[in-house]
Structure 1
């Protein structure tokens, strides 16, 4: 059973989008199932679909930055290697692999943002370690293939 706002409170599908987003989603899904396309709030539906694509790209970038940062820390701070660090590497690698498996069309985006993400990871590594930026190579010492390789861990 779908909860509904009183009709007097809703003047259009667009208003529903603003007043009760979850109900808007349920209503939109039901209209799509019924193939009732004329009743759809197309403007907001298009915006939400585009936002979903941006969210997927941002999640990929975020996971890539965290993975690269931890690989840098693992490589530079050999005395501080821990199961927790290895877990973080494994977890973010797994998230990236899952995203690329579920959406192979993200791979070109991954390739495009690799170097930019590495630069962000360098900055994060400085904050996390307190070491000077010069400690970390200007260019990524890891290839995209290495960071996706489940058996890869950097040498000292």
Structure 2
């Protein structure tokens, strides 16, 4: 790929055959053909991947906090399903933070925001008044991720 026409055709692959574009990009990088790489779309993809990890962390944390709230404030409704969801979200968050340790500061940064959303979701799902749940998280960031901890 040395002509602009070929480069343009390769760049168009991004929009018409994403898998082939990925395969071609990997091949060009492997072969050190950097002048031929579609860097604009490659940069966009890398940025999207980092955003995806942040969104996954936020979503899993929100679900975990919501289930911890339900567990704490509806003890009569506790179920294995809730425990399984709590365990699964913790496991997935642990893996996410293990594979991407640089997300740890982001976890701390979004904890309170996720709690606000989890509080609203818990109220909606349980039918309890939102005022049943404290405005600030009753759970510490460490306890939330601790696989051996459950609220009383």
> The TM-score by the shorter chain falls in which range?
over 0.9
Residue 121 of structure 1: aligned partner? 118
Whether 1:29 and 2:26 are equivalent positions in the alignment is: yes
Matched, 1:110 2:107: yes
**Helix, strand or coil for the counterpart of 1:12?**
helix
* 1:74-89 correspondence to structure 2 within 5 Å: 74-89=71-86
Paired residues for 1:2-17 under 5 Å: 11-17=8-14
Q: How many residues align?
A: 147
Of 39, 42, 57, 1:42 maps to: 39
Structure 1 position 131, deviation (Å): 1.0
The equivalent position to 1:60 in structure 2, one of 57, 62, 69, is 57
Tell me how far 1:126 sits from its aligned partner: 1.2
Q: 2:130 aligns with which of 108, 119, 133?
A: 133
2:89 aligned to which of 81, 87, 92: 92
